[in-house]
Structure 1
Amino acid sequence: MIDWAYQKWILPAFESGIKRRKTFHHWRDLEASQWWPRQQIESLQVRRLRDLLTYCNAHSAWYRDRWADHGIDVDAVWSLDDLRSLPITTREMIRENADAIRSRYPGVAFVSKATGGSSGAPLRFLIERDANDRRVAAAFRGYGWAGASPGTKQSHLWGVNLNKLPWRQHLKECLYARLLYRRDMLNSFEMSESNVSDYVNRLNRYRPKVLVAYANPLFVLARAIDERGLRTHRPESIIVGSEKLYDHQRELIERAFGSPVFETYGSREFTLIAAECDRHRGLHVTSENLIVEIVDDHGNPSAPGEEGQILVTDLFNTAMPFVRYAIGDRAVAGTGDCDCGRGLPLLEKIVGRQMDVLKLPDGRHLPGAFFPHIIKDIPAIRQFQAVQTRRDVIRLQVVVGDNWNADDRDALRQRILHHIGDSSQLEIQQVDQIQLTAAGKMRVVIGYSGPQRSHPSRIAG
């Protein structure tokens, strides 16, 4: 009854009445369109794509000139396949040409955002206000598949604002999260194995319907619950986002909490890109707002079952358009339809960051998932990070427990060297902690970013 009141009266009154946002209107539309046949959704995408390209050609000097340089007539784009004729846009291009990319149409209302990204080089961009409302609505829908519709009682083990806020603004944010949206915010930056019981106690006191979390701190929490036999509140579901979720992590989290895990995939540039429904056959793409492509190293559609890099076209952000934007992540496109009945296409799985694929000196590509797969069977390793410091050097940092010994170290070295061969040197370093990114996330694998880097610039032309 309380959830219903928040969804039907309290939150709509705030969002639509006080804030004059169209979030709930767009959410209702998305709840209906998700059940459309695939062909109808694709027809909608094409209409919105043509409107976007026409707009960019008229009001974004950078896109207009770039497409002209490539001999592209946007009026000739009549299908999703035709979109492939447009060149790929990289993060570096957006950063270096931001002023020329942004819309010059007078009176466009927008909000400013920024993302640091794993590289640490910030990207500042604009989002048209209605486009921002639409992406929040998409998050409402995607989280709703896991039972986390707006207004449900939730705990968020998430990154927090590290800047010291004036007390009025801090109070405002607390009231907005806790009282209005019923979210108890747990600081993932401060969690460690020594204080996990404090986090468990807080979950037990608040008793959320849904737990929302970064993958890696949640895995640390779940492992402590499992190993120490801690008694914890069992939420109806768990939503994991912002970091790559590996199969062994999902298995342990579900065992520790006794709750199903729902994976989501998103970014600061686009908010929720895809999310799992209760059938867990992959992640449904937010296709009413976005066009998501999975392409190989040459910009062609990846073969079925093969991973590729993700390109995203935002169909609504006219303030600063993103057209065929290489977001820096890799995925495998889904095949077929989900038996849930939704017409939204699937991503079979999110593989990880583009830079999480290590290119070895002998020409082989070592996927980032290799290291979690090897290390998950060594219980003494609590955390790790593999960094390719040079093309021929891999440094593996490990945080270990008291049961770590020389046999573990030698076995780990031999297992890794067996796969990577003798073309690379392997350094294993024992450390006290793994450094997080500026956003508080854990990057478990970091590829070489030196002058030989070929992704995604090699296919950007």
Structure 2
Amino acid sequence: MYTIPRPLRASTSKDKIDAWQLFWLQRLIAKSYAHVPFVRERCKHAQVIPEDIVSLESLRLLPVNSKRDYQRKNISHYLSRLAKPDRLLIRSTSGSTGQRMQIRRSWYEERLLNMFFWKALHSYGFRPSHKLAVIDFREATADNDNQLLPNTLRQLGVYRRRVFNGLDDEHLLEKILAYKPDAISGMASAIAELADRAVAANISLSPGFIAPSGELLTQTLQQRISGLNTRIFNMFGCNEVNTIAWACPFGCSTFHVMDDALVVEILDDRDQPVASGEYGNVVVTSLFSYCMPIVRYRTGDIAIKGNACCDCGSDFSTITNIIGRTIDYFPLPDGERLHPWELLNTIRTNMHWINQFQLRQNSLQELELLVVPKVVQYDNNLRALEETAQQALINRIDIKVTCVDKIDDSGTSKKRLFKPLFEIS
């Protein structure tokens, strides 16, 4: 039926998308069952064989897996016996959930997954002759990551992509100016730092658009990035599977799910599907990860499920919003849990004077909102913010707001907005 994996056109019908997903899903499960001990073990535990996967709904017969499930045994337990381990590329997660995980992919799988990333950029107006600047915190290219294809494309002047160090490069702005990118992607906080430098220097970069990814694009970060005076499109993904969804290019308040590369489920705490408009855990199955299959994998993200298709006319499924990470829930004195966005959605109108923030839990009885002000006089703003926050959490937990000059990072590439009690020591 299908022979070559490739991104589907935006105009592809829902029936064809579903047929595409089912074909590659059945192929993935069959090959993984035959060659990957972990997948075969999980299937046998659920009393499922590949022939039982007769529809997309059949995927629910398999158990949901977590990072911990992928870390219980030696890495060989999770790899295909057909793969050559010494030739696989290693991609590490940031560890922002408290658990760092290493993903193995072949060179071919890495390039294939990148194609879906480029597809999202194309929908925003990126063209083969354009240049992309990626501002990231990650390590350099792995020694065994053959760069012949990217280098050849660069020489031909197509799909040119350059990664810049967004962590501690004091000359980042000058380098971006010299590169003259048509689009900028990468970590949202790193792009925000670039925007701050450009605004302070009264310099216009004028890229065609900016597509932050890799971490939650908060309202504060978006306000800072808007200083670059261009279109901003949020992208949602993780190192385990690359791009999961991208903001509708036509301005609808939704994300288009990368249905041609993944099967994405939004599940409640009992691993049951939620209804449209409800939030739940993001669970993904990567259709083209054969060397180290990612099957019904809980990413640790919380999202709101959207409609089966977008109002723009696209038949790709949708996510309405990305809320945060499950690790960010705060325990309350009464035994309940608070997700910080319950608070932030209430106080966001009082945060216009803030450049950066972090919400942390100092004890079971107290939260503290650390803020870095972008104005000199902030006393009235501080009082208004603290009153609104206290009112939002009345009879649940105490909260105080503290102004600081700088917020220390967590030591990972992702700057943590929220630090629950069990992370404070």
TM-score, normalisation: structure 1: 0.78
Aligned to 1:275: 246
Give the superposition deviation at 1:185: 4.2
SS in 1 for 2:234: strand
Question: Alpha-carbon deviation of 1:320?
Answer: 1.5
- Specify the code of the residue in structure 2 equivalent to 1:432: D
Inter-partner Cα distance in structure 2 for 1:345 and 1:48: 17
Alignment of 1:306-385 (within 5 A): 306-338=278-310, 340-362=312-334, 363=336, 365-368=338-341, 370-371=343-344, 374-375=347-348, 377-385=350-358
Any unmatched runs of 5+ in structure 1?
1-24, 451-461
1:76 to 31, 40, 52: 52
**1:359–1:75 CA distance, 2 compared to 1 (3 A):** farther
Deviations 1:40-67 (A, max 9, x none): 1111211221222222322222332233
Which stretch shows the higher mean deviation, 346-355 or 176-185? 176-185
2:115 aligns with one of 137, 140, 143: 137
The letter of the residue matching 1:100 is H
Q: Is the 8 A contact 1:356 1:368 kept in 2?
A: no
Fraction of identical pairs, as percent: 24
CA drift of 1:125 comes to: 2.4
- 1:86 is matched with 62
**Matches of 2:82 and 2:140, distance apart in 1:** 35
Letter in 2 for 1:360: L
Q: In the TM superposition, what is the alpha-carbon distance from 1:106 to its structure 2 partner?
A: 6.2
Partner of 2:273: 301
CA contact (8 A) 1:262 1:280 kept: no
Residue 3 of structure 1: aligned partner: none
The answer on whether the counterparts of 1:313 and 1:322 sit within 8 Å (CA) in structure 2 is yes
* Among candidates 39, 44, 48, match of residue 24 of structure 2: 48
Which residue of 2 is the match for residue 258 of structure 1?
229
Q: Work out the CA distance in 2 between the residues paired with 1:140 and 1:150.
A: 9
Deviation at 1:140, TM superposition (A): 1.5
Q: Residues 205 and 305 of structure 1: is their aligned pair in 2 closer, same or farther, counting only changes over 3 Å?
A: same
Contact 1:296 1:302 in 2 (8 A): yes
Structure 2: give runs of 5+ residues left out of the alignment.
none
Normalising by structure 2, what TM-score? 0.84
SS at match of 2:204: coil
Aligned to 1:159, which of 132, 137, 141?
A: 137
Partner of 1:436: 409
User: Is the deviation greater in 338-347 or in 282-291?
Assistant: 338-347
Match of 2:387 among 414, 429, 433: 414
1: distance between equivalents of 2:50 and 2:421? Answer: 37
Matched, 1:218 2:195: no
Task: Show the counterpart of 1:207.
Answer: 180
Match for 2:43 among 67, 71, 74? Answer: 67
Listed as ranges, the matches of 1:387-426 within 5 Å are 387-401=360-374, 403-426=376-399
Q: Could you report, residue by residue, the CA deviation over 1:365-413 in whole angstroms, capped at 9, with x for unpaired residues?
A: 3343633762563444321101234443323222234625544433332
Q: 1:112 aligns with which of 77, 90, 96?
A: 90
Distance 1:204 1:264, change over 3 A: same
What do residues 54-84 of structure 1 show as CA deviations (whole Å, max 9, x unaligned)?
2232222233223323333442221111211
SS of match in other structure, 2:230 = coil
Q: Determine if contact 2:350/2:384 at 8 Å carries over to the other structure.
A: no
CA distance in 2, matches of 1:161, 1:64: 33
CA distance in 2, matches of 1:322, 1:72: 17
Q: Secondary structure at the match of 1:410?
A: helix
Q: How does 1:26-45 map to 2 (within 5 A)?
A: 29-30=6-7, 32-45=8-21
Q: Using a 3 Å threshold, how does the CA distance of structure 1 residues 442 and 82 change in structure 2: closer, same or farther?
A: same
1:379 to 1:304, Cα distance in 2 relative to 1, 3 A: closer
Is the CA contact 1:141–1:149 (under 8 Å) kept in the aligned structure 2? no
Q: Which moved more, 1:34-43 or 1:383-392?
A: 383-392
Change (3 A) 1:236 1:399: same
**Mean alpha-carbon deviation: is it higher for 410-419 or for 212-221?**
212-221
Q: Tell me, in whole angstroms, the C-alpha distance in 2 between the residues paired with 1:447 and 1:86.
A: 31
State the 1:176 CA deviation.
8.8
SS of the equivalent of 1:100 reads: helix
Say if 1:177 and 1:184, in contact at 8 Å, map to a contact too.
no
Q: 1:122 to 1:150 in 2, by over 3 A?
A: farther
Question: Do the aligned residues in 1 keep the contact of 2:94 with 2:413 (CA within 8 Å)?
Answer: no
State how many pairs are aligned: 412
Q: Residues 230 and 373 (structure 1 numbering): CA distance in 2 closer, same or farther, change over 3 Å?
A: farther
Shift of 1:257: 2.9
> How far does residue 356 in structure 1 lie from its aligned partner after superposition?
2.8
Deviations 1:236-289 (A, max 9, x none): 2111111112346445644x3332111111111111122234213222222222
CA distance 1:369–1:263, change in 2 (3 Å): farther
Whether the 8 Å CA contact 1:245–1:263 is kept in 2: the answer is: yes
The change in CA–CA distance for 1:37 and 1:449 in structure 2 (over 3 A counts) is farther
* Alpha-carbon shift at residue 322 of structure 1 (Å): 1.2
1:307 counterpart letter in structure 2: Y
1:21 alignment partner in structure 2? none
Detail structure 1 runs of 4+ shifted over 6 Å in the superposition: 174-180
What SS is found at the alignment partner of 1:49? Answer: helix
Letter in 2 for 1:267: C
Give the structure 2 partner of residue 287 of structure 1: 259
What's the C-alpha RMSD, in Å, of the aligned pairs? 3.4
8 Å CA contact 1:204, 1:233 repeated in 2: yes
Shift of 1:313: 0.6
In 2: Cα distance, 1:257 partner to 1:161 partner: 26
d(CA) in 2 for partners of 1:103 and 1:206? 40
Counterpart-to-counterpart distance in 1, 2:131 and 2:44 = 51
Please say if residues 257 and 318 of structure 2, whose CA atoms lie closer than 8 Å, have aligned partners that are also in contact.
yes
